[in-house]
């Protein structure tokens, strides 16, 4: 009986060691399978941030105003030489709501940070691979295929608050976790199929109004949503298809963010039971002059 207990303990110990080993090396295996490649922040001194108000979202705001046009296109050549983007990325790497929760005391502080981080890291990632015609041009040596734009969205690893993360997880596991579908009008993946990249960074105290404005603009653009009464069809951005669970009833959602004229058109489509078609997504880079 004693020997059986000893054998059981030995087997149990071996299993524990095996599990520890698997747990320890699993992240590396996943990284290798996806072709993960680190995009480190610039090596520069980061100004200490002691209060929520001191986090330098103003750096990103200045960068967006200088290098992004009202049409949402970007002068990537000049952007790549702007040290302010690198300085902002360095602050993101040092601080986050996960690493320094006291600096992000409200939901608005957190969500403004994550959305700004997404947009800034996309821009930073593009400049690190410039010139490219599409984010899908970023290729990596991977064992498995994870989906559209794997080299850019899955493989590139950035640092937020000391933790490595890719853009796919930042969007789908963090930002979408806040349950606010308006983020789909707020974050931008450097592609012409995206909603227009706004020229202002998100700030906690104006976040709600900012999100509302962007979703209203997205719904108002014909390339994102149009009504064809002759064909009895609504044509909408693929974004509304990809993230359908976030929007719920799409017609009701679009109506809630439409102006009076748009609302009347959509209500006519709803009453007429029009079909919905989703248009092909344009993965071309949102380069200056492309729109």
Residues 203 and 233 in one domain: no
Residues 72 and 139 in one domain: yes
Angle formed at CA 163 by CA 160 and CA 164, multiple of 5 degrees: 90
Residues 87 and 230 in one domain: no
Angle formed at CA 106 by CA 103 and CA 112, multiple of 5 degrees: 80
Structural domain contains residue 83:
yes
Sign of the torsion angle spanned by Cα atoms 135, 139, 142, 145: positive
Residues 165 and 271 in one domain: no
The residue to which tokens 């009008």 are assigned: 185
Residues 66 and 172 in one domain: yes
Write down which residue in 207, 229, 255 finishes a domain. Answer: 207
pLDDT at 7: 46
Structural domain contains residue 285:
no
**What does the pLDDT profile of the chain (291 residues) look like in tens digits?**
555 555 444 545 555 555 555 566 678 888 877 788 999 999 999 999 999 999 999 999 999 999 999 999 999 999 999 999 999 999 999 999 999 999 999 999 999 999 999 999 999 999 999 999 999 999 888 677 767 788 999 999 999 999 999 999 999 999 999 999 999 999 999 999 999 999 999 999 999 999 999 999 999 999 999 999 999 999 999 999 999 999 999 999 999 999 999 999 999 999 999 999 999 999 999 999 998
Do you find a cis peptide bond into 229, omega within 30 degrees of 0? Answer: no
Residues 127 and 253 in one domain: no
Q: Residue 149: CB partners within 8 Å, gap ≥ 6?
A: 135, 136, 138, 189, 283
Residues 30 and 43 in one domain: no
Count CB-CB contacts under 10 A for residue 89. 26
- CA–CA distance, 266 with 252 (Å, rounded to integer): 9
Count CB-CB contacts under 10 A for residue 233. 15
Structural domain contains residue 94:
yes
Structural domain contains residue 244:
yes
- CA–CA distance, 122 with 135 (Å, rounded to integer): 9
Residues 114 and 246 in one domain: no
For 167-219, what is each residue's pLDDT tens digit?
Answer: 999 999 999 999 999 999 999 999 999 999 999 999 999 999 999 999 999 99
Residue range of the domain that includes 236: 219-278
Contact (CB, 8 A) for 162 and 99: yes
* Number of domains composing the chain: 3
Residues 94 and 228 in one domain: no
Structural domain contains residue 57:
yes
Structural domain contains residue 257:
yes
Residues 60 and 184 in one domain: yes
Q: Which two tokens stand for residue 196?
A: 């227009």
Write down which residue in 207, 233, 248 finishes a domain. Answer: 207
Q: Which two tokens stand for residue 29?
A: 């295996």
Write down which residue in 207, 232, 252 finishes a domain. Answer: 207
Residues 152 and 232 in one domain: no
DSSP string, 41-74: PPS-PPPP--SGGGS-HHHHHHHHHHHB-TTS-B
């Amino acid at each position: 009986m004693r020997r059986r207990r000893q054998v059981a303990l030995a087997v149990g110990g071996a299993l524990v060691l095996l599990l520890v080993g698997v747990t320890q090396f699993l992240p590396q295996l996943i990284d290798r399978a996806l072709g993960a490649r680190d995009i480190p922040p610039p090596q520069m001194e980061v100004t200490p941030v002691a209060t929520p108000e001191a986090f330098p979202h103003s750096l990103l705001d200045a960068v967006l105003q200088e290098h992004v046009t009202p049409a949402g296109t970007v002068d990537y050549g000049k952007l790549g030489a702007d040290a302010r983007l690198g300085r902002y990325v360095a602050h993101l790497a040092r601080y986050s709501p996960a690493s320094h929760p006291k600096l992000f005391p409200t939901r608005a502080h957190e969500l403004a940070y994550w959305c700004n981080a997404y947009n800034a890291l996309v821009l930073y990632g593009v400049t690190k691979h410039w010139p490219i015609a599409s984010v899908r041009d970023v290729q990596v040596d991977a064992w498995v295929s994870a989906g559209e734009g794997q080299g850019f969205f899955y493989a590139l690893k950035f640092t937020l608050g000391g933790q490595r993360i890719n853009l796919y997880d930042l969007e789908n596991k963090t930002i979408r976790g806040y349950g606010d579908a308006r983020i789909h009008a707020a974050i931008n993946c450097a592609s012409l199929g995206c909603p227009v990249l706004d020229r202002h960074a998100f700030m906690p105290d104006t976040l709600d109004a900012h999100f509302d404005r962007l979703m209203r603009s997205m719904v108002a653009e014909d390339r994102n949503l149009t009504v064809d009464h002759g064909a009895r069809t609504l044509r909408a951005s693929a974004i509304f298809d990809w993230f359908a669970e976030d929007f719920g009833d799409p017609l009701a959602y679009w109506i809630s963010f439409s102006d009076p004229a748009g609302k009347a058109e959509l209500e006519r489509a709803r009453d007429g039971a029009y079909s919905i078609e989703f248009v092909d997504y344009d993965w071309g880079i949102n380069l200056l002059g492309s729109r």
